[in-house]
A and B are shown apart, each in its own frame.
Chain A
Amino acid sequence: MAQLTFREAIARGIAQEMRRDESVVFLGEDIGAAGGVFKGTVGLLEEFGGVRVRDTPISEQAILGAAMGAAMTGLKPIAEIMFADFFAVCWDIVVNEIAKSRYMTNGQMTFPLVIRSGNGGGLRFGAQHSQSVENWAMMVPGLKVVVPSTPEDVIGLMAASIRDPDPVIFLEAKALYSTKTDVPDGEIVDTLGTAKVLRSGSNATLVALGAMVPKALKAAEELAGQGIDCTVVDVRSLVPLDTQTLLREISATGRLFTVEENPRLCGWGGELSSIVSEEIFYDLDGPIVRITTPHIPLPAADALEDMAIPSVERIVTTVSKSMNS
């Protein structure tokens, strides 16, 4: 057992898989000598060398195109897109090329690749370096979408994503990079498509993702003080979605609150709400409530950004108001 930060866990997860599988390669901007702009890839160049860990030009289409071409011919590339907002300049490769090609070719090709990216706000970077884009990725048939919330999950889900034969969008909440927790020694391998119940309660179920998970947990503690006993579920994987765990935990309390960092429209909570309404409507004891970032570009000023992204306080007041009405 050792204390590890979220950013250190990224390098550990990648290194674990690169040691095990020679066909895993890693490319991106400033990932090698510099160790990543968020210092998430420190030590990888030193251990694996410049042939497997390659710095690229600022060419997002080339980075992802290269990852795709390498994946279809037998390598298992990990590509970094520095900030998730930058997906917009290479979205064609993700959506039209990587995601569609297996289906279009009637299964002739597989794309065992991972695209990891710093996602979301909290760092006061302003609108072009802060958006939470998990909902962009989730709506594309052919992409798996994974969002860890703890250092241990970073390692285990990174390993599972690299070993998975399909393309995985791996979104790392930038706001969590410096969080530090105990992580077991040795190999860690998790399973995609599994949500995790982090706290069990009887009154309401809070379902959260990425940087919203620790906030939901904190809110649940405060709500417990008010006599509202909450379950907290970490979704972890939007595609595949562990609806069994989610529906079970929502049925058990009869109330669903989603906590989402993405701007409101078409956020993952909307999809979850629709599934819940169709399948366990009669288990609900009250309305589904979505707690999201408003439908705005994120502002830079700390005061404004804090108003926009769901806070512990907003979660607590929203839940308690709804539960007491």
Chain B
Amino acid sequence: MTTTTPAVSPMDLDEKLALYRTQLALRFFEQRAYDMFLENLVKGTSHLSLGQEAIAAGVAAAMKPTDWTFATYRGHAHTLARGVPMTPVLAELLGRSNGLMAGKGGSMHLTSVEHGVMGSYAIIGAHLPIACGAAWSAQFRGTDQVAVCFFGDGSTNIGAFHEALNFAAIWKLPVVFVCENNLWMEYTRTTEVTAVENPAADRASAYGLESIMVDGNDADAVYEVAAAAIARARAGEGPSMIEAKTYRHGGHSRADPGKYRPDSEVAEWLAKDPIPRYHTRLLELGATEDQLVEIERDVVREVDLATEEAKAGGVPGEDLLMKDVWADGGSSWRN
């Protein structure tokens, strides 16, 4: 299979500063979400992307506003990266009526159709075929939309993953799969239960997908491979699989301290933290320390404001409970 890789125009400094800002926003948002979880304000569960921000940010930078994101329960970052404001996302975590889905979805199901965030899915692998369906719809209607579908390394061993890859390939769908390989499922190392070394990339090539490995802690590198894969999909050249190596700084969810991971491994990956790395790169490219400090201050202001606004949100009313099972807005199952 020969594919022509469309040229990706490199980002200029302003664009890179914007990409830095996105990464910081994701980092500070997640830290705030964690703090508020410890304060018992974030209820239920939540799965943070701390350490993995470069992937959500880099891919989103390569997408058009009309493209679609399909995320997992670890989806705060992917939602925010598409331009969804922080307040409704945080309020959703708090179960408030000003939440993104008025409290009806929660942390694991963030959705903003308006921003192309077509859902966050909490059943491992389920959204890969759904992303194929959206891509099929774009292909059928002749729009240039592309579906981008994020998932973890552990999700590569479930049936839906394999059905979706074959399906995307045979119908040549405009879909880009992005595996965030953070080495661990919940508490088990993925390589211990997987027959191949690179769980997504090695399988993808068997299905005839363009298969790309990338350093997931380098936002520029992620942006470049994503832009190329998205351009290929948009041009009708079919699906791709990007496997981005990364690491989650914290536990799997909630208050999991992640103690099953060797200290040396954690230390090694903390040294590869995508955000300080990007900070250094921007300085090398001529950005000033003042510029970067100002961006940081701006993000802190945004997170603080979102925190206030989210906390000020009301409790969802009973009117919401029985709403929107059906398209007519109701939930009636009988006359």
Interface residue ranges, A against B (CB under 8 Å): 25, 51, 54, 56-57, 59, 61-62, 64-75, 77, 92-93, 96-97, 101-110, 112, 141-142, 165-166, 193, 239-244, 275
Contacts and interface: CB of A to CB of B under 8 A. Distances in A.
B275 interface: no
B29 interface: no
A135 B335 CA distance: 19
A-B pairs, top 4 by smallest CB distance, nearest first, are: A69-B133, A65-B129, A165-B327, A107-B324
Contacts of B325: 102-103, 141-142
B76 interface: no
A62 B327 contact: no
A166 to B, nearest CB: 5
B163 interface: yes
A93 B126 contact: yes
A281 B290 CA distance: 78
Contact of B118 (A54, A72, A193, A241): A72
B327 to A, nearest CB: 4
A109 B129 CA distance: 17
Interface string B83-123: 00000000000000000011011000101111000110101
Interface residues of B, number: 52
Nearest to A110: B327
B102 A109 contact: no
Given A51-B140, A75-B140, A105-B101, A64 B129 contact: yes
A179 to B, nearest CB: 29
B334 A106 contact: no
B227 interface: no
Nearest to B327: A165
Given A65-B128, A72-B134, A107-B323, 17 more contacts: A62-B160, A62-B164, A65-B129, A65-B132, A69-B130, A69-B133, A69-B135, A73-B68, A73-B118, A75-B140, A93-B126, A104-B109, A105-B105, A109-B118, A165-B326, A240-B332, A240-B333
> For B111, B329, B331, which residue has the most chain A Cβ atoms within 10 angstroms?
B111
A67 B140 contact: no
B84 to A, nearest CB: 12
Nearest to B173: A66
A65 B134 CA distance: 9
Contact of B163 (A59, A74, A77): A59
Contacts of B133: 65-73, 77
A108 B88 CA distance: 14
B140 A70 contact: yes
B137 A106 contact: no
Given A59-B166, A66-B136, A105-B109, A93 B129 contact: yes
A61 B133 CA distance: 11
B334 A241 contact: yes
B104 A106 contact: yes
A72 B69 CA distance: 13
Given A65-B164, A242-B335, A103 B111 contact: no
A52 to B, nearest CB: 8
A108 to B, nearest CB: 5
Given A75-B137, A102-B325, A107-B324, A66 B335 contact: no
A61 B163 CA distance: 7
A316 B331 CA distance: 38
A77 B136 CA distance: 11
A293 B145 CA distance: 49
Given A25-B140, A72-B118, A61 B166 contact: no
> For A67, A70, A73, A102, which residue has the most chain B Cβ atoms within 10 angstroms?
A73
Nearest to B321: A103
Contacts of A241: 333-335
B140 A69 contact: no
B130 A97 contact: yes
Contacts of A166: 326-327
16 contacts: A51-B140, A61-B159, A65-B127, A65-B160, A65-B163, A66-B167, A69-B118, A72-B130, A73-B138, A92-B160, A93-B126, A97-B130, A105-B101, A106-B105, A141-B333, A166-B327
Contact of B104 (A67, A68, A92, A103): A103
A106 B121 contact: no
Contacts of B324: 102-103, 106-107
Contacts of A62: 129, 132, 160, 163-164, 166-167
Contacts of B101: 104-106, 108
A110 B324 CA distance: 9
Contacts of A240: 332-335
B178 to A, nearest CB: 16
> For B101, B113, B171, B327, which residue has the most chain A Cβ atoms within 10 angstroms?
B327
